[in-house]
């Protein structure tokens, strides 16, 4: 287990949970994100707790031109990558997005365009190597458009579709692609939100991601019962659904 | 950052108050602009010390990263939200133990500092503050201040035992104690009454590193204050046998049981408690021969029962912990137990300890003498009146009440009990002239106001 795993958006609570689970298994990690001081702290914590080498560095998801150089730097520092977890995203506000197109653009870019830009490069590298994995955090919000967050849902839905295509493309090369669809997870994004139920701890979700990668799963809902919640929600006929306040 | 208005309480589940919660994920987010702020770790203080009714409460649970660990010198530096449980999991397998630990692992390092908690070894090693090499204090306005016994000493002394009112504790650097094994060589001795219990606690022949007495609070008359003294020392590796000897620093983790919801309030009454105590006294009092026990069982017996505070039902409970100076401690504690016995009020768990010298902080609780802690189910006015009458006894003898356990002390009593309050107030005003940091406890006790 000398492989290195790149975590994009590493300071998010779910990414932290997954990083801990991988570190516990002895993987070396590269933590990437905007807040370098926080990454430094996360790296120190993982190294002290689990005794693995953890590197970190600045990554600007919106600066697409910088992505190739970034990935090259990571590879030089860590050796060939075992896999990539893409954990960054932006919930934003549907109300603001409806009133201001700049918010809409940020939501679409962060959750879809920026993710595609860096994962395209990762996919090429892993495909050449002929093994490894890509795991991307989409959302249950991407399974059906709802008035409360359809811009975020559309971007995450597009990202899920992209991952699906990538899975299809990379299968012959032996590279696995995992789509993660979290329901309610107890993160900064959901803290204080009204109407949440059965909220999962980010450490548990992180550990689930790591076992799902090991088992070569394609799509997981976390917590698992969200698969069935979303099954019901996607089965509601549109004629009825459009009347609902969801 | 998202805010969550919520009714919360301390560990005693009394009182319950509406606070505005925020939960930073990162160290950089610990400070936020608000008219009234208070950090809260694991919420294990009993009364209203970690409540800020109507104000903002900063939950530090996610700010829990280890920053450095020197395995040769036993020095660890961490964000203040790290719990003792996390610390023990890291350091015990590598042969290091906290210099001072309270009776639960489920406390944050920041909370240990803010309450300057003590352990069963206070008579030897002092309180938590003595093991702190350095603190990072985030003061009003978001300024970060390094303080220690050498640097910014006044801020340090206002923070250790300062109940979180000097600022938010961001990082803590601790000195640890080397150990050879995860086991304690323990010994129990029964004592038929309080006098005997005192004699055993004073006995220098049995002067173990760790020493504590369980007191049967329901005993009366000639048996008033009977109990069991529990002594212990870290066991050397060669004292262990069998498989333990091969991996002396390894422990098989205990399974914790959960109390799923608040139990009916009548469950802990004076009859059920009396029956439990008699059985406990007979069983534990007779283990006079030294025996080996893992550190978990020795230090954290109640941690095997998650949410044990729910045993006290919806109304919760109050813990009364006081310390009285050595000279008249026996008389003072006899009076307290007498008052408890005559009141007929049920009281569970009684713990008696010998204390060493006054601690680091201006408001540190310990003083040379004896401390008694009692858990009393909350029964409204009768409970509060009884505790007021306890305060009289404690004041008379020059003792004090522990703020981390308090929910009902009067402002005048605080002033009589904590002679360094004025110094603490002066430093606090310098650090936080606007009085941003505040808690329900500090307002109830008017801690900022002079006399």
Question: Which stretches within B213-311 are classed as H helix?
Answer: 242-246, 270-285, 295-299
* Residue contact A45–B3, C-beta within 8 A: no
pLDDT band at A193 (very low <50, low <70, confident <90, very high): confident
* Residue contact B26–A49, C-beta within 8 A: no
Per-residue DSSP letter, B340: H
> B26: distance to nearest CA of chain A, Å?
7
| Max CA separation in chain A (angstroms) | 56
Backbone dihedral angles phi then psi of residue A87, each to the nearest 5 degrees: -120, 0
3 state SS of B121: coil
Over its C-alpha atoms, chain B yields an Rg (Å, rounded) of: 21
Nearest-by-Cβ selection for B3 from A11, A187, A192: A192
User: Which residues does B contribute to its contact with A (CB < 8 Å)?
Assistant: 1-4, 21-23, 25-28, 62, 65-69, 79, 90
Q: Which residues of B touch A188 (CB under 8 A)?
A: 1-2, 23, 25
The alpha carbon dihedral of A104, A105, A107, A113 has a sign of positive
| d(C-alpha B259, C-alpha B307), whole Å | 6
Tokens of B373: 């802690």
**C-beta neighbour count of B306 within 10 angstroms:** 14
Per-residue DSSP letter, B437: B
Q: Which residues of B touch A48 (CB under 8 A)?
A: 66-69, 90
- By C-alpha distance, which of B177, B445, B61, B345 is closest to A16? B61
Contacts of B82 (CB under 8 A, 6+ apart): B64, B65, B66, B108, B109, B172
**C-beta neighbour count of B7 within 10 angstroms:** 11
Over its C-alpha atoms, chain A yields an Rg (Å, rounded) of: 18
Q: Is the peptide bond before A223 cis (omega within 30 degrees of 0)?
A: yes
> Which of the residues A49, A191, A196, A199 would you substitute to probe the B interface, choosing the one with the greatest number of B C-beta atoms within 10 Å?
A191
Residue B181 Ramachandran class (φ > 0 left, ψ -120 to 50 alpha, else beta): beta
Q: Which residues of B touch A35 (CB under 8 A)?
A: 26, 28
- By C-alpha distance, which of A216, A98, A77 is closest to A150? A98
> B104: distance to nearest CA of chain A, Å?
21
The alpha carbon dihedral of A56, A46, A115, A135 has a sign of positive
Pairing of strands B56-59, B75-79: unpaired
pLDDT (0 to 100) of residue B451: 66
What b/e readout covers B126-144, taking b as 16+ CB neighbours within 10 angstroms? bbbbbbbebbbbbbbeeee
> Which tens digits make up the pLDDT trace of A162-189?
999 999 999 999 999 999 999 999 999 8
DSSP structure string for B224-252: TT-EEEEEEEEPPGGG--HHHHHSTT--P
The alpha carbon dihedral of B393, B398, B402, B408 has a sign of positive
The whole-model pTM stands at: 0.95
Do residues B420 and B362 make contact, with C-beta atoms less than 8 angstroms apart?
yes
Do residues A129 and A171 make contact, with C-beta atoms less than 8 angstroms apart?
no
| d(C-alpha B99, C-alpha B94), whole Å | 15
pLDDT (0 to 100) of residue B261: 87
Whether A194 has its CB under 8 Å from any CB of chain B: the answer is: no
Digitized pLDDT (tens) for each residue of chain B, 451 residues in all: 899 999 999 999 999 999 999 999 999 999 999 999 999 999 999 999 999 999 999 999 999 999 999 999 999 999 999 999 999 999 999 999 999 999 999 999 999 999 999 999 999 999 999 999 999 999 999 999 999 999 999 999 999 999 999 999 999 999 999 999 999 999 999 999 999 999 999 876 557 999 999 999 999 999 999 999 999 999 999 999 888 889 999 988 788 888 888 888 788 888 888 888 889 888 888 888 899 999 999 999 998 888 989 988 889 999 999 999 999 999 999 999 999 999 999 998 899 999 999 889 999 999 999 999 999 999 999 999 999 999 999 999 999 999 999 999 999 999 999 999 999 999 999 999 999 999 999 999 999 988 6
* Residue contact A13–B27, C-beta within 8 A: no
| Max CA separation in chain B (angstroms) | 62
Backbone dihedral angles phi then psi of residue B222, each to the nearest 5 degrees: -65, -25
pLDDT (0 to 100) of residue B206: 59
Nearest-by-Cβ selection for A37 from B22, B28, B90: B28
Whether A196 has its CB under 8 Å from any CB of chain B: the answer is: no
Q: Name the residue with tokens 């010198």.
A: B73
Per-residue DSSP letter, A201: P
pLDDT (0 to 100) of residue B254: 80
Nearest-by-Cβ selection for B90 from A13, A38, A48: A48
Locate the chain A residue with the closest alpha carbon to B171: A41
Residue A83 has pLDDT above 60, yes or no: yes
> Which tens digits make up the pLDDT trace of A7-66?
999 999 999 999 999 999 999 999 999 999 999 999 999 999 999 999 999 999 999 999
Pairing of strands B66-70, B56-59: unpaired
pLDDT (0 to 100) of residue B207: 79
| d(C-alpha B317, C-alpha B310), whole Å | 9
pLDDT (0 to 100) of residue B365: 98
pLDDT (0 to 100) of residue B336: 97
Whether A94 has its CB under 8 Å from any CB of chain B: the answer is: no
Tokens of B423: 């110094």
The alpha carbon dihedral of A206, A211, A214, A220 has a sign of negative
**Chain centre to alpha carbon of residue A65:** 21
Whether A44 has its CB under 8 Å from any CB of chain B: the answer is: yes
Tokens of B446: 């008017």
Length of chain A in terms of residues written: 246
User: Is pLDDT larger for residue A229 or for residue A178?
Assistant: A178
H/E stretch holding B171 reads strand B168-178
Backbone dihedral angles phi then psi of residue A78, each to the nearest 5 degrees: -105, -10
Per-residue DSSP letter, A113: I
- By C-alpha distance, which of A171, A10, A145 is closest to B65? A10
Contacts of A10 (CB under 8 A, 6+ apart): A16, A19, A31, A32, A33, A39, A42, A56, A87
> A1: distance to nearest CA of chain B, Å?
22
Partners of B168 in the β-ladder: B138
Nearest-by-Cβ selection for B4 from A45, A187, A191: A191
**C-beta neighbour count of A193 within 10 angstroms:** 12
């Amino acid at each position: 287990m000398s492989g290195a795993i790149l975590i994009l958006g590493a300071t998010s609570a779910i990414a932290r949970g997954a990083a801990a689970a991988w570190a516990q298994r002895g993987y070396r990690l590269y933590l990437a994100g905007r807040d370098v001081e926080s990454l430094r702290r996360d790296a120190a914590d993982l190294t002290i707790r689990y005794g693995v080498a953890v590197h970190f560095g600045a990554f600007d998801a919106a600066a697409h031109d910088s992505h190739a150089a970034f990935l090259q730097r990571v590879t030089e520092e860590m050796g060939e990558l075992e896999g990539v977890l893409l954990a960054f995203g932006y919930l934003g506000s549907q109300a603001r997005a409806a009133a201001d197109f700049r918010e809409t653009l940020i939501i679409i870019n962060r959750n879809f365009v920026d993710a595609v830009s860096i994962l395209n490069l990762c996919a090429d590298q892993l495909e050449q190597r002929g093994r490894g994995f890509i795991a991307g955090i989409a959302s249950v919000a991407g399974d059906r458009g709802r008035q409360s967050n359809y811009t975020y849902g559309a971007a995450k839905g597009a990202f899920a579709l992209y991952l699906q295509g990538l899975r299809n493309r990379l299968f012959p090369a032996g590279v696995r692609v995992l789509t993660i669809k979290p329901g309610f997870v107890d993160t900064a994004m959901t803290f204080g939100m009204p109407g949440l139920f059965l909220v999962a701890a980010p450490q548990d979700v992180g550990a689930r991601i790591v076992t799902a990668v090991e088992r070569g799963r394609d799509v997981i809902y976390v917590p698992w019962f969200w698969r069935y919640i979303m099954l019901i929600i996607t089965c509601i006929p549109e004629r009825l659904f459009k009347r609902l306040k969801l | 950052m998202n805010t969550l208005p919520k009714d919360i309480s301390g560990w005693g589940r009394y009182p319950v108050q509406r606070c505005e919660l925020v939960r930073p994920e990162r160290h950089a987010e610990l400070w936020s602009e608000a008219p009234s702020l208070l950090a809260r770790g694991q919420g294990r203080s009993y009364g209203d010390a970690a409540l800020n009714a109507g104000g903002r409460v900063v939950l530090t649970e996610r700010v829990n990263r280890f920053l450095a660990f020197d395995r040769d010198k036993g020095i660890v530096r961490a964000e203040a939200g790290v719990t003792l449980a996390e610390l023990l999991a890291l350091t015990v397998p590598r042969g290091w133990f906290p210099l001072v630990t309270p009776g639960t692992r489920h406390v944050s390092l920041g909370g240990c500092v803010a309450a300057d908690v003590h352990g069963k070894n206070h008579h030897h090693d002092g309180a938590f503050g003595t093991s702190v090499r350095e603190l990072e204090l985030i003061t009003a306005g978001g300024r970060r201040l390094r303080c220690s016994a050498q640097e910014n000493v006044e801020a340090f002394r206002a923070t250790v035992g300062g109940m979180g009112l000097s600022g938010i504790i961001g990082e803590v650097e601790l000195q640890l104690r080397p150990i050879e094994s995860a086991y304690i060589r323990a010994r129990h001795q029964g004592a038929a009454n309080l006098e005997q219990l005192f004699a055993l606690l004073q006995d220098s022949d049995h002067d173990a590193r760790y020493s504590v007495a369980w007191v049967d609070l329901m005993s009366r008359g000639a048996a008033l204050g009977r109990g069991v003294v529990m002594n212990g020392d870290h066991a050397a590796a060669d004292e262990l046998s069998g498989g333990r000897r091969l991996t002396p620093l390894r422990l098989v983790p205990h399974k914790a049981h959960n109390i799923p919801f608040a139990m009916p309030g009548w469950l802990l009454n004076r009859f059920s408690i009396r029956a439990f105590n008699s059985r406990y006294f007979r069983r534990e009092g007779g283990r006079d021969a030294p025996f080996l026990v893992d550190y978990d069982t020795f230090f954290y017996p109640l941690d095997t029962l998650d949410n044990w505070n729910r045993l006290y039902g919806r109304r919760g409970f109050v813990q009364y912990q006081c310390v009285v100076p050595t000279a008249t401690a026996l008389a003072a504690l006899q009076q307290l137990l007498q008052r408890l016995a005559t009141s007929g009020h049920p009281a569970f768990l009684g713990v008696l300890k010998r204390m060493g010298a006054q601690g680091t902080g201006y408001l540190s609780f310990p003083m040379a003498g004896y401390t008694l802690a009692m858990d009393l189910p909350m029964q409204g006015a009768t409970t509060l009146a009884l505790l007021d009458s306890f305060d009289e006894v404690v004041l008379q003898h020059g003792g004090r009440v522990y703020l981390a356990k308090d929910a009902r002390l009067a402002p005048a009593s605080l002033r009589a009990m904590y002679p360094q309050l004025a110094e603490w107030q002066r430093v606090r005003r310098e650090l936080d002239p606007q009085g941003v940091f505040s808690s329900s406890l500090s307002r109830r006790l008017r801690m900022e106001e002079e006399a």
